[in-house]
Amino acid sequence: MNEKYPTWLTNHVKEWAKKRLTTVTLCSATGNELLEVWYYGDLLTINGEPQLYIVPSYFAPELVTARDPESGEEFVVFDGGRHGYDNMFCDEHDLDELERRTLKRYEIPASKLILELGYSIDYEDEKEIFDVDKDGMVELINGERMSWEQVKRDGIDYIALYYVNEEGKQVQILDNELA
């Protein structure tokens, strides 16, 4: 697979490119790329920038979803309590807290959403430390099992979310270095 992106985004990627980082344009299952952003977490101003960044709350990691205003479909863009290398192999979270996260709408109109994804871990070089079993499965820190191929796709160590504003400029609203 040349177009490498996390499995939780299957059916929600309209464009894929390998630039400095893997970059994808999101869409609903019907192909609509004008999406609303919904989130759990806090909003933070950084260095006087006009936009607010989505960050974890004191109680639980951030959760970001996209909602198609036409169809009502909603899908997870990033779950700071479940997605990425650290959540797969290092960090444990209170499952009750993860389930209690309620979403609020990020106050922008439905917009084109672009993700940057970082894959800096060389999984093939480090395969022996992951204890891949004879069936090609790996046990995650939470006890779940995942195929080795899925680990390589879902084990991102960086994610950033941008929306495209009315002037066509990309505005960053999430920056999460996971490793």
- Show me where the domains of the chain are located: 7-177
Three-state SS string over 118-153 comes to: ECCCCCCCCHHHHCCCCCCEEECCCCCEEEHHHHHH
Rounded to the nearest 10°, the torsion over CA 149, 155, 156, 162 is: 80
User: What are the tens digits of pLDDT across the range 62-74?
Assistant: 999 999 999 999 9
Within a 10 A sphere around the Cβ of 28, how many other Cβ atoms? 22
Whether the pLDDT of residue 32 is over 80: the answer is yes
73 burial type by CB count under 10 A (0-12 exposed, 13-18 middle, 19+ buried) = middle
Mean pLDDT across 28-38: 97
Asked whether 76 and 39 are in contact (CB, 8 A), the reply is no
What is the predicted pLDDT for the residue at 131?
A: 85
Number of H helices, E strands in the chain: 3, 13
Whether the pLDDT of residue 179 is over 60: the answer is no
Whether the pLDDT of residue 155 is over 80: the answer is yes
Record the pTM.
0.92
